[in-house]
């Protein structure tokens, strides 16, 4: 069994379960249609996999019985999205590959690693190069401008935001934003008054995990009429697989979303 981040000796995996939505989408992009046999109920892309692949529970509520019935030879998980105890239990029976992604560099490494792991290195390397090139151009676009102070909301009641050690926070840099909660760990609860105290200029309301809408935007706008509030696609900020190809262009146009 393995529960690590070192590429093992070459082994042909033919029965793969993915416990991470963004990595499920990556496996599809790499052409592993036949090899992937199980996904979570949150792995909504690609749609045909969501409709047809066996679902093995949620990212934090795994159905062990279903996994045993599928008899996988590889399970792909993530340190943040999955529960440590559940992954360790799976590792007692199966090869488990655990990724850890907090930055764009981590994401590119993860893509290359999964490419090697699944014998799709050529496709993974090409994808990684394309993503890196796109983000370099995006970074150049914003490097000449002063970063605007921003907060990225992921939840309401209580209000929760992305802290500085998250992948979301790293992506904010590529939009030309400075995360005002960069000194916080993970996803802290906050009070709206802190937006004033930290001189926030841009409020980003994500579509996931909490589905912020125009209603929520209007409510916050009434409290802070001078601040710019943008509803954003959460997948672009938090999915660290093949969707990053789309994210770079999305970030270039994000100021137009108000």
In contact, 209 and 155? CB cutoff 8 Å:
yes
Residue 124 domain flag = no
Q: How confident is the model at residue 11 (pLDDT cuts 50, 70, 90)?
A: confident
Q: Tell me: the pLDDT tens digits for 69-92?
A: 999 999 999 999 999 999 999 999
Residue 24, pLDDT > 80, answer: yes
> Do residues 10 and 83 both lie within one domain?
yes
**Torsion 160-164-167-168 (CA) sign:** positive
Q: How confident is the model at residue 250 (pLDDT cuts 50, 70, 90)?
A: very high
Unique residue bearing structure tokens 């393995």:
2
Query: Residue 208 sits in which domain range?
Result: 141-256
- CB within 8 Å of 248: residues ≥ 6 apart: 131, 134, 135, 137, 138, 174
Angle at 130 between CA 153 and CA 138, to 5 degrees: 50
> Do residues 155 and 93 both lie within one domain?
no
Distance of CA 206 to the CA centre of its chain: 13
| pLDDT above 90 as % of the chain | 86
Domains contained in the chain, number: 2
Residue 134, pLDDT > 50, answer: yes
Residue 100, pLDDT > 60, answer: yes
Residue 1, pLDDT > 50, answer: no
The pTM (predicted TM-score) of the whole model is 0.92
Residue 2, pLDDT > 60, answer: no
Residue 5, pLDDT > 90, answer: no
Residue 58, pLDDT > 90, answer: yes
> What's the Cα-to-Cα distance from 86 to each of 3, 7, 16, 98, 205, rounded to whole Å?
12, 22, 17, 12, 31
Residue 244 domain flag = yes
Q: How confident is the model at residue 257 (pLDDT cuts 50, 70, 90)?
A: low
Predicted confidence at residue 144, as pLDDT, reads: 57
Domain finish residue from 39, 67, 100: 100
Instruction: Answer with the residue of higher pLDDT: 142 or 256.
Output: 142
> Do residues 246 and 163 both lie within one domain?
yes
């Amino acid at each position: 069994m393995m529960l690590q981040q070192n590429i093992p000796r070459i082994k042909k995996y033919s029965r793969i379960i993915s416990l991470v939505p963004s990595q499920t989408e990556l496996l599809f992009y790499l052409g592993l249609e036949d090899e992937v046999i199980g996904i979570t109920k949150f792995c909504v892309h690609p749609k045909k996999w969501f409709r047809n692949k066996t679902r093995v529970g949620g990212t934090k509520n795994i159905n062990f019985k279903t996994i045993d019935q599928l008899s996988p030879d590889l399970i792909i998980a993530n340190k943040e999205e999955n529960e440590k105890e559940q992954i360790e239990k799976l590792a007692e029976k199966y090869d488990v590959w655990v990724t850890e992604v907090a930055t764009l560099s981590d994401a590119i490494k993860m893509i290359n690693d999964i490419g090697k792991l699944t014998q799709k290195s050529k496709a993974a390397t090409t994808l990684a190069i394309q993503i890196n090139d796109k983000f370099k151009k995006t970074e150049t676009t914003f490097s000449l401008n002063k970063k605007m102070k921003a907060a990225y909301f992921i939840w309401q009641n209580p209000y929760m935001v992305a802290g500085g050690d998250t992948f979301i926070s790293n992506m904010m840099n590529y939009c030309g934003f400075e995360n005002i909660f960069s000194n916080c760990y993970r996803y802290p609860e906050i009070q709206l008054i802190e937006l004033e105290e930290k001189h926030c200029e841009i409020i980003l309301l994500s579509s996931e995990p909490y589905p912020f809408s125009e209603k929520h935007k209007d409510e916050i706008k009434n409290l802070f009429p001078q601040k710019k509030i943008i509803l954003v696609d959460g997948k672009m900020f938090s999915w660290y697989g093949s969707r990053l190809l789309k994210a770079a262009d999305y970030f270039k146009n994000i100021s137009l979303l108000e």
